[in-house]
Amino acid sequence: MINVQIDYGKFYNLEQYLFNEVQPKFAVTGSICTLDFFLIVIWKSNRAKSKTKKRLAGLAGGSFASAVEQIAKSMVEADSPKRQLQVLMEEWGFLLPMATAILTVLYPDEFTVYDIRVCDVLGRFHELGTRKFSGKLWGEYLEFVHAVAKAAPAGLTLRNQDRYLWGRSFYEQAIKDVG
């Protein structure tokens, strides 16, 4: 029996694990293991992980692993970022925040996480989070991405622009709370 050593420390910083290990692996293979997909769900919304897992398993005929496999395949087969978002929202029932979190991990140069903290910093886009997919929603999401880029310092990647604005929101809230 082979004893495989797991570096559990890499899971301490979940975002770092997702972007440094999961994303490059997906870029090469076009697939994502069930655990790694589940870790994306936890990263975005830990409180919704069990409900999301159960919902996806139901949509895939009872298996969460099958759902993850189908989702990865449909992301690779989609002919555009717009179609990728549409598939996650229409076929898999994700709302914009979770759909963009998944897509941000898989395609960090094309997507950024739709997050209420970032909306607060931007002072708009709050209403997008609960809406169903449409051409209009896609256009508004692209406006959100553009606003993120415009509000963050120049020269940052899209992922780091998002982190900057999220961090700004976190800092401003902490200042208010300490008050």
Mean per-residue pLDDT pooled into runs of 10, the chain (179 residues): 80 96 98 97 94 96 95 97 98 97 97 96 96 97 98 96 96 95
Asked whether residue 1 is assigned to any structural domain, the reply reads no
- Return the pLDDT at 122: 98
Q: Considering the entire predicted model, what is its pTM?
A: 0.94
Domain span at residue 174? 8-178
Asked whether residue 123 is assigned to any structural domain, the reply reads yes
Return the number of other C-beta atoms located less than 10 Å from residue 123's C-beta. 9
φ and ψ of 33, to 5 deg: -75, 160
- Return the pLDDT at 145: 98
Do 132 and 63 meet the contact criterion of CB atoms below 8 Å apart?
no
Asked whether residue 2 is assigned to any structural domain, the reply reads no
Query: Residues 125, 41, 137, CA angle at the centre, nearest 5°?
Result: 30
Q: If we measure between CA atoms, which residue out of 137, 42, 94 comes closest to residue 145?
A: 137
- Return the pLDDT at 1: 56
- Return the pLDDT at 3: 62
Burial class (CB in 10 A: 0-12, 13-18, 19+), 94: buried
- Return the pLDDT at 179: 87
Asked whether residue 17 is assigned to any structural domain, the reply reads yes
Cα–Cα distance, 78 to 80 (Å, whole number): 6
Asked whether residue 3 is assigned to any structural domain, the reply reads no
- Return the pLDDT at 2: 59
φ and ψ of 10, to 5 deg: -70, -15
Q: How many domains does the chain have?
A: 1
Asked whether residue 150 is assigned to any structural domain, the reply reads yes
Query: How remote is the C-alpha of 132 from its chain's centroid?
Result: 17
